[in-house]
Amino acid sequence: MTRVKTFLSGLDDYELAYFARFKLLTYMKGTQSEIKEYLTERNLNESKIDRLISENPKSKLNDERERCPRCYSDKIRKDKVEWTNTSRGFGIEDEVATWDGLGGRATYKNQVICNVCGFWLEDPNQEKPLPTSKKLLYAILDILLGALRR
């Protein structure tokens, strides 16, 4: 069994539906074909995927587990990453990280991503790809703030 199938076999039908909707197209063509074959083996077609996403019973769970706000899975990946983007923040934590960086020390934060649907729960360095609308909004804000500073 390949690593992809091993990972997919650990997902329930609801998680697999979210995976197919949000992460399938992020893989290379060969891997996409393998995933689509697995979806067929599990009897998941487009209409069943839509139905599973709309009726996900995990959305009603009220337990203490950390869950993804999009797919409600508890399969969350936490990676310690060096915090490099402190320029947009205000506060003592940002100042300490900046001074630590000048002194040659690194500050680490958790980058938290859902393994099922790819949703970024925490993104300390703002590495998550932004939608065009947000890019446009940030560009406008940068222009306005630049004009106000003059």
> Comparing C-alpha atoms, which of 38, 44, 30 is closest to residue 7?
38
DSSP symbols for 77-146: EEEEEE----TT--SHHHHHHHHHHHTT---EEEEEEETTT--EEE-TT--SPPPHHHHHHHHHHHHHHH
CA 52/CA 46 separation, integer angstroms: 10
Parent domain of 107: 76-149
Domain count, the chain: 2
Please tell me the predicted confidence (pLDDT) of residue 122.
Answer: 84
Decide if 89 is inside a domain: yes
Q: At what angle do helices 46-54 and 13-22 cross, to 10 degrees?
A: 110
What distance lies between CA 90 and its chain's CA centroid? 24
Please tell me the predicted confidence (pLDDT) of residue 60.
Answer: 77
Question: What mean pLDDT is predicted for residues 18-33?
Answer: 94
Please state the pTM of the whole predicted model: 0.71
How do residues 72-102 score in pLDDT, each as one tens digit? 999 999 988 777 765 655 566 656 666 565 6
Same domain, yes or no: 138 and 84: yes
Question: What mean pLDDT is predicted for residues 37-47?
Answer: 95
Inform me whether the pLDDT recorded for 132 exceeds 80: no
CA 60/CA 133 separation, integer angstroms: 31
Sign of CA dihedral 72, 78, 84, 86: positive
Inform me whether the pLDDT recorded for 149 exceeds 80: no
Decide if 69 is inside a domain: no
Same domain, yes or no: 82 and 142: yes
Decide if 33 is inside a domain: yes
Intra-chain end-to-end CA distance of the chain, in Å: 62
Q: Name the pLDDT band for 23 (thresholds 50, 70, 90).
A: very high
